[in-house]
Amino acid sequence: MRSRFYSKILALGMAVPPKVLTNFDLEKMVETSDEWITERTGIKERHLLEKEEVISTYAVKAAKEAIERANLSPHDINLIIAATLTPDYLMPSLSILVQKEIQAEKAGAFDLSATCSGFLYALVVADQFVRNNPDWKVLVIGAEALSRKTNWEDRSTCVLFGDGAGAAIVSSSEEESGILDFILGADGSNWHLLTLKGGGSTYFPFDERLPKEEYYIKMQGREVFKIAVRMMEKIALELLRRNGLSSKDLALLIPHQANLRIIEYLRERLELPKEKVFVNIHKYGNTSAASIPIALYEAAKEGLLKRGDYLLMVSFGGGFTFAGVLMRW
């Protein structure tokens, strides 16, 4: 039975590294063009860590901003969940580094791995904790440094990714608002289409059985594209249907920012006008688990979300993982 409490997003934060890599910069690195990248992906530029930087710096910045905007102190945080594929280290986790840096002494902390769906998975986990512990404040982070796992000689992937972090404070609400419903999905049958094998426990460090390119993200883009559009549409329609809503009821759709053509396809299938689908992929590329919280932050800042509005967020990522969260703002 559902508890009488709902969970809502109290405040948001985001941070990206200042270094920008444009499509024109990429033209000098691999055989590609601004025209191809823009036409096939919608991306114009992306933010990347400098060599000596770490992604926890930006996760901490985003977290501090969200805590401040929520008028809380780090001592008020009960739990930190960091969704990431690319923590600074495998041990300690990214969430622990954030916990130490912001001095959230009361907080438990763990990382969650669900690729590009990581933030929505983490939001749903936070929702469970908050509904059962209504005085809790959960810090949910999506932070990613995909540039560290990018093969800069592979033009089919290196044009796609960017680095950054977003954060949200989740707390309880007695009003029928906040997170109304969600879908978490997974399908491992096609896992081989999108992989990052190096760094796992199948292979030893520097294992000569593993070719060098397997230490980077490898993707069969066209096949991933087809699965992405099919699953995002399915999740969006299912969440609307089972809540007695139609896409016309939505104030905003925030899809994972992986490819503008995927977003456009979804928009057409849901018969939504352009202004109801949030897009910022041109500025950041695909930032994986950070993509949705960064988009949500910018949408809120632009005043696109008003109290009582229906918001739908949908994502997909390697694995494959899928997720959808329906909210009332």
CA distances from 323 to 2, 12, 119 (A): 20, 20, 9
Residue in 41, 95, 150, 172 binding ligand ACO, rule: CB under 6 A: 41
State yes or no: residue 318 binds ligand ACO (CB under 6 A).
Answer: yes
Confirm or reject binding of residue 32 to ligand ACO (CB under 6 A).
Answer: yes
Residue from 155, 230, 234, 276 binding ligand ACO (CB under 6 A): 155
**Residue 194 found at the interface with ligand ACO (CB under 6 A):** yes
Q: Pseudo-torsion of CA 247, 252, 254, 255, nearest 10°?
A: 30
Among the listed residues 222, 274, 306, 307, the single contact to ligand ACO using CB under 6 A: 222
Concerning whether 23 is annotated as a catalytic residue, the answer is no
Residue 116 lies near ligand ACO (rule: CB under 6 A):
yes
Element (H, E) at 263: helix 260-269
Q: Does 95 bind ligand ACO (CB under 6 A)?
A: no
Stretch that binds ligand ACO, among 118-126, 152-160, 200-208, 291-299 (CB under 6 A): 152-160
158 is catalytic: no
Closest CB to ligand ACO among residues 9, 290:
290
Contact track, ligand ACO, 269-298, x by CB under 6 A: -----------------x-x----------
Q: Which parts of 298-317 interact with ligand ACO (CB under 6 A)?
A: 317
Give the active site residue among 23, 116, 158, 280. 116
Which residue of the set 23, 259, 280, 286 is catalytic? 286
CB of 289 vs ligand ACO, minimal distance in Å: 9
Active site residue 116: yes
Looking up tokens 């959230």, which residue turns up? 104
> Is the peptide bond between 206 and the residue preceding it cis, with omega within 30 degrees of 0?
no
What share of residues in the chain are helix, strand, coil (percent, to 5)?
40, 25, 35
Distance CA 250, CA 235 (A): 15
Cβ proximity to ligand ACO: between 133 and 156 the closer is: 156
Q: Strand 310-317 and strand 250-255: pairing?
A: parallel
- Find residue 186's DSSP bridge partners: 321
Binding mask of the shown chain, residues 157 to 186, with x at each position contacting ligand ACO by CB under 6 A: --x---------------------------
* Helix/strand/coil for 253: strand
Rg (CA), the chain: 19
Torsion sign, CA atoms 162, 120, 83, 139? positive
Which residues are known to be catalytic?
A: 116, 256, 286
